[in-house]
Amino acid sequence: KHAAKIRLDDVKGEQSREKDKADRATSEQVLDQRTRMILLQMINRGFVSEVHGAISTGKEANVYGAVAYPDLDGPPIQRAIKVYKTAILSFKDRERYITGEHRFKSGAEKGNSRKMVKLWAEKEFRNLRRIHSAGIKCPEPIQLKLHVLVMELLGDRKGYAYPRLRDAAISSEDAEEVWRSLYIQLLGIMRRMYQVCRLVHADLSEYNILYNDRQLYIIDVSQSVEHDHPRSLEFLRMDIKNTGDFFRREGVETLSDRTVFDFITA
Ligand code: ADP
Ligand code: MN
């Protein structure tokens, strides 16, 4: 079938273990045995063909670029793989999102970090599916296995990911108008997410929105909550404040947070 190879050094776990200490300084990025097995399985099943370098390394997850060749002679499809880390620390402050989620009742998950990361990946997958099918621009979820999530890459055909809204270079002479329209676009997205998906993002900011060609894309929805979550309105107010502050700093004459809240929830 297709040449299925893993290019990523990280995936060659055994070899990297042999490498010198300088390399081990980056061991944060080395994938563990279980993760490598999952990636190999996904390669065998054709969801991805090659795993590339890290697009992002964060506290709770790493995101890697990847390519799939669905048809032998067809063009490659760019994908992104989010690998949740089994670090217990960062999951402490995540509890407030899970507590009160009727979709994730089982308290048995508490304290078991492997189950916790699986839960986060599952949440992100389901939320992405819901947001994507509501017609909101976000990565299309492709495949989920334990703590490894394959999704559409938001980027160009060469595999370069779109910038975060924070880093977007909007410098045309009509920049002011573009910023204004992006603000309005985001209000529509937030409203649709609330009204149609019945979700509150709960970590919405210029860091979790990607930008390309006057389009906004929503990412990072593992902590998003149902709107009947006891704290969903508190999270919504926070999302409104963070995004409103950002657009105000960019010089947009925004609506008041209160007005936006009423617009989204009405
Ligand atoms: P976290 O913030 O928890 O580390 P994110 O889901 O926000 O995880 O992903 C981290 C970064 O990886 C994002 O800021 C974005 O730059 C990049 N990224 C994540 N998903 C995609 C995607 N589907 N396409 C392109 N880039 C992505
Ligand atoms: Mn993020």
What ipTM, to 2 d.p.? 0.99
184-211 pLDDT tens trace: 999 999 999 999 999 999 999 999 999 9
Q: Which residue is catalytic, options 203, 213, 257, 262?
A: 203
203 is catalytic: yes
Mutate to test the pocket of ligand 1, among 140, 210, 211, 223 (most ligand atoms within 8 A of CB): 210
pTM of the model: 0.86
pLDDT above 50 for 3: no
- As a whole number of angstroms, the distance between CA 167 and CA 67 comes to 25
- As a whole number of angstroms, the distance between CA 156 and CA 175 comes to 22
- Ligand 1 atom nearest to CA at 60: 3
220 is catalytic: yes
Among protein residues, the one whose CA lies closest to atom 10 of ligand 1: 56
- As a whole number of angstroms, the distance between CA 241 and CA 206 comes to 12
- As a whole number of angstroms, the distance between CA 51 and CA 230 comes to 39
Amino acid identity of residue 243, one-letter, is T
Q: How far is the CA of 180 from the centre of ligand 1 (A)?
A: 24
The predicted pLDDT at position 110 comes to: 56
Mutate to test the pocket of ligand 1, among 56, 62, 136 (most ligand atoms within 8 A of CB): 56
Return the structure tokens found at 166. Answer: 């924070």
Q: How much is the average pLDDT of 9-20?
A: 46
Q: What are residue 66's phi and psi, to 5 degrees?
A: -155, 165
